């Protein structure tokens, strides 16, 4: 699919790798100038080079979204470009563990990155959103099905989905707000677990109704669809589940 973001301005968090990096590249290929936000400076620079290779402008904001200074830097950078047409919240922190054994510091970290940061960044950017802009949050299928070992993470994703529905009504009709909820995706969030669970990839593939693990590029296309007014101008306040059929299978 080809989506038109010619001369639009996009902000993408979590752009150092995975879905965020893929989304930043796809937006640039579709014509957008992109503000890329991420923690890893070297990987963020790689994403920036990919954006520049398309001929579009790119601005880097390197920092931890748990730090309010990073949120302020992202806001001022976007404002300096003239405002925002697409805001894609792709950053996430995933730390596993049953609740009984979970450290309070881990719960706090996930809450700050996965829920607090996108809420506050969105709030800060509200005055800079153009008419017809779109906001897309990344949730997870853990907000729709129970997965053991990630209760705290699931809570942050459920919170952002509830937040997005209310925000969609608050910002209508000027701005659309939606959520993309991925399942198992071939990114470091999944592949980093292969060292301790070598059969995990094969198991996920077998259990997925479509019989393959989605890629970051697959999700990037879904994000662009939700952000593109020509593709989804009548869609707001909803969640698109992108999981190869896991939730539907039950």
Known catalytic residues?
153
Select from 189, 112, 185, 98 the least CA-distant residue to 146: 98
Count of Cβ atoms closer than 10 Å to residue 243 Cβ: 21
Q: What whole-number distance in Å separates Cα of residue 121 and Cα of residue 249?
A: 35
Q: Element (H or E) spanning 38, and its range?
A: strand 33-38
* Phi-psi category of residue 237: left, alpha or beta, with phi > 0 → left and psi -120 to 50 → alpha: left
Select from 91, 93, 75, 129 the least CA-distant residue to 59: 75
- Helical pair 151-171 and 117-125, crossing angle rounded to 10 deg: 20
Q: What whole-number distance in Å separates Cα of residue 38 and Cα of residue 167?
A: 24
Q: Order across the sheet with 58-62: list the strands.
A: 58-62, 33-38, 9-13, 84-89, 129-138, 176-182, 239-242
């Amino acid at each position: 699919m080809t989506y038109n973001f010619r001369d639009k301005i996009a902000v993408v968090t979590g752009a150092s790798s995975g879905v965020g990096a893929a989304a930043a590249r796809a937006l640039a290929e579709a014509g957008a100038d992109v503000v890329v936000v991420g923690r890893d400076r070297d990987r963020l620079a790689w994403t920036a080079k990919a954006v520049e290779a398309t001929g579009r402008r790119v601005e880097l904001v390197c920092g931890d979204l748990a730090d309010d200074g990073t949120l302020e830097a992202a806001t001022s950078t976007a404002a300096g470009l003239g405002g925002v047409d697409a805001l894609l919240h792709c950053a996430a922190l995933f730390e596993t563990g049953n609740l009984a054994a979970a450290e309070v510091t881990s719960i706090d970290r996930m809450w700050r990155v996965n829920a607090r940061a996108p809420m506050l960044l969105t709030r800060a950017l509200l005055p800079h959103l153009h008419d017809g802009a779109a906001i897309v949050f990344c949730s997870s299928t853990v907000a729709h099905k129970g997965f053991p070992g990630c209760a705290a993470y699931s809570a942050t994703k459920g919170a952002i989905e509830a937040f997005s529905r209310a925000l969609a009504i608050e910002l209508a009709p000027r701005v659309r707000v939606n959520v993309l909820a991925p399942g198992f995706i071939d990114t470091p969030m999944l592949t980093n677990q292969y060292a301790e669970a070598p059969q995990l990839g094969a198991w996920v593939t077998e259990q997925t109704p479509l019989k393959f693990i989605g890629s970051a590029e697959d999700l990037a296309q879904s994000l662009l669809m939700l952000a593109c007014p020509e593709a989804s101008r009548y869609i707001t306040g909803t969640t698109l589940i992108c999981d190869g059929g896991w939730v539907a299978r039950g």
